[in-house]
Structures are given as structure tokens and as C-alpha cells.
Amino acid sequence: MNGYNDPTQHLFWLASRSLGVVALVLMAASVTIGLFLSGRLIRRPGTPARLRTWHEAIALTATGAIAGHGLALLGDKFLHPSLRDIAVPFAMANQPAWTGIGIIAGWLAAIFTFSFYVRKWIGTKAWRWLHRWTLGAYVLAVAHTIGSGTDARSPWLLALVVLITAPIVFGATYRFLPAAPDPRARPAEARS
Amino acid sequence: MTEKRRRRSLRQTLTIVAATAGIGFIGLFGGLASQMAASRDPALGPKATAIQAHAYQPVQRRIIKRTVVVRKIHDPAPASAPAAAAAPVRATSPAPVVVQAPPAPAPAPAPVVTKVS
């Protein structure tokens, strides 16, 4: 064992990497449920209410994992970033662009998650508009994972990213594509 | 769903999600740590392998073989002679080259004596 293959010397770095992957998976799950809810893909009575609870719980856990992903790096004696490096975009000397994108994605995810609790103050319309940008935060998170992630070239991580992004692509396509006209509505429209 | 019920449901769901995330974290952490220990970490693996290869590289040695030639010289003396029994065996260097002395200069010619009477 030497300094390069002794895990005990890189505990914080390994913890940060693991939390980053956990955060990405949770974020993907939350975005998927959000898209399925807003796109009305699940219509069984009672299910949307239950899914909303899961959506909220997963988003909160994802935010915690994102915070842990950044804070764990503070203990890494090799990278040794400051609080400013992990909180301010593009401040870190190591891969500033990709880490900066990741920090922006983290802040956006936190803002979108906690905006739910200030919905009364900002208004439902503004909250809905804001919440729609969660998808953008996920895209930034994926870019950060592939751009600066240590395991970005590992087949297992690439497979995982594809696996968790596929339902999002499906949900977003379903949600944002213009809805086909309801065939049952035509005779009525024709009559009127 | 009342607010109280909603909060209780959220707390229960949050516990399940956090526990699942914790298990996922432990699994990933263990996997990444074992990957690192096996020198297969994407970032540090090549460095670790290079250091190990350098550490275990066998020291190259140059072996010099020295051959000593032992030449037995048989004494030409008769075998009955006691000295011949213990024929000297000696390590010799190449036989000494006998440098022959240059031939002696020819004597000077005798002086020519003329008899004058």
C-alpha cells in the first residue's frame, strides 16, 4: 500500500464521491416523479398525493446529499479546498469550470427544493415558473458529473447516468410536447 | 389530507428515503474504497501501479565470472625420480618469453702488421 491506493488516506474524498453519486440518483428520482406528476402520467386516485410526499422527501434528501458532497471535500487533505471554494462557483482552482457548474447546480437544487416552503409568499404562479427550472439544475448536475467526476469514465457510472436519465427524457418529452387534440372534443367543436 | 397527517407521512417517507440513501452511500463508499485498494481507482490507480512497479523492480546485477586456468606442467625427469612423483603443479601465467640477447658483436679485425726491414 502506498499513498495512492490506501483508502484510509482518502476517506473524505471517497465520501464526497459516494455522496455525489447518491445525490445525483436522488435528484433524478425527484425530477422524474415531478415530471410524471406535472405531466399527469399517473392518474390513479390517491397516487399523486402519495407521490408528492415521496417527491418532497427525495428532494430534501438529495439536498442533504449535495451539501454533504461539498462539505466532505473540506476534510480532504490533498485537494484541501476552503469553504469559499466549495460554495462560490468557479472559485476552486481544481477544474474551476466543471466544479463551478456543479456548485451552481447544487445551489439551484437547494433553491428549488426550499421554494416549496415559501410558496405562500412568492405565489403559486412564480413558484411553478421557478420549479420548472429544476430540469435545468439536473442537466447541470449531469454535466458536472461527467465533466469533473473522478468516475466519469467508469462504465458503471455512465450506465447509471443513462439509466436514471432515460425516464427524465421520457417524462420531459411527454410533459413539454404540445398535447395532441382530444378526438372526443372534435365533434363538439364542429357542432359549435 | 390534513397538515398534521401530511407531516407525519412526510417524516415516515423521509426516514425510508434517508435510510435507503444511507445504504446506497455505504455500498458506494465500500466499492470505491476496495477499487482504490486494488489500485484500480480512475484517478490514483495508474500512479499507484507505477509506484508499485518501481518499488518491486528487481535490481539488475552484473555477474563477472573469473576463470582461472590451471596448467599442469609435466616434469620431463624420469618417473623413478622421487622428485618426479611430486610433480609441481603450479598456476602459471603464460610462459615467460625468453628474450634472446642480440648476438655479440664480431671481434674487431686484427691490426694489419707490416714488417719493414
Q: Which residues constitute the domain of residue A98?
A: 8-176
CATH of the domain at A44: 1.20.120
Contact B48 A56 (CB under 8 A): no
Residue A1 forms part of a structural domain = no
List, as one string, the DSSP characters of B35-82: HHHTT--TTTHHHHHHHHHHHTPPPP-----------B----S-TTSH
Q: Taking the complete model, does pTM exceed 0.80, yes or no?
A: no
Complex ipTM over 0.90: no
Residue A40 lies in a domain: yes
* pLDDT tens for chain B, residues 1 to 117: 578 888 888 999 999 999 999 999 999 999 999 999 998 888 886 666 666 666 666 667 778 888 888 888 877 666 555 554 555 555 555 555 555 666 666 666 666 655 554
**Which of A105-109, A129-133, B68-72, B105-109 has the weakest average pLDDT?**
B105-109
- Identify whether A147 is part of a domain: yes
Q: How many domains does chain A have?
A: 1
CA–CA dist B32, B79 (Å, integer): 87
Identify all chain A residues contacting B32, using CB atoms and an 8 Å cutoff: 7, 14, 17-18, 151
A2 in any annotated domain: no
Using alpha carbons, list the distances in angstroms from residue B99 to A17, A185, B95, B103, B106. 88, 131, 12, 12, 20
Q: Is residue A156 part of a domain?
A: yes
A69, A23 in Cβ contact below 8 A?
yes
Grid coordinates representing A86 are 466549495
**Domain for residue A85, yes or no?**
yes
**A4 to B51: CB separation less than 8 angstroms, yes or no:** yes
Averaged pLDDT, A105-131:
93
Sign, CA dihedral A119-A122-A125-A131, equals negative
CB-nearest partner of B25 from A5, A19, A56:
A19
The residue assigned the cell 671481434 is B107
Task: Give A88's DSSP letter.
Answer: S
Asked if residue A3 is part of any domain, the answer here is no
Q: How far apart are CA A69 and CA A172, in angstroms?
A: 27
Residue B72 bridge partners (DSSP): B89
Rg over alpha carbons for chain A, rounded to the nearest Å, is 20
When scoring B16, B17, B26, B40 by the number of chain A Cβ atoms within 10 A, the one with the most, hence best to mutate, is B17
Question: Is A102 within the bounds of a domain?
Answer: yes
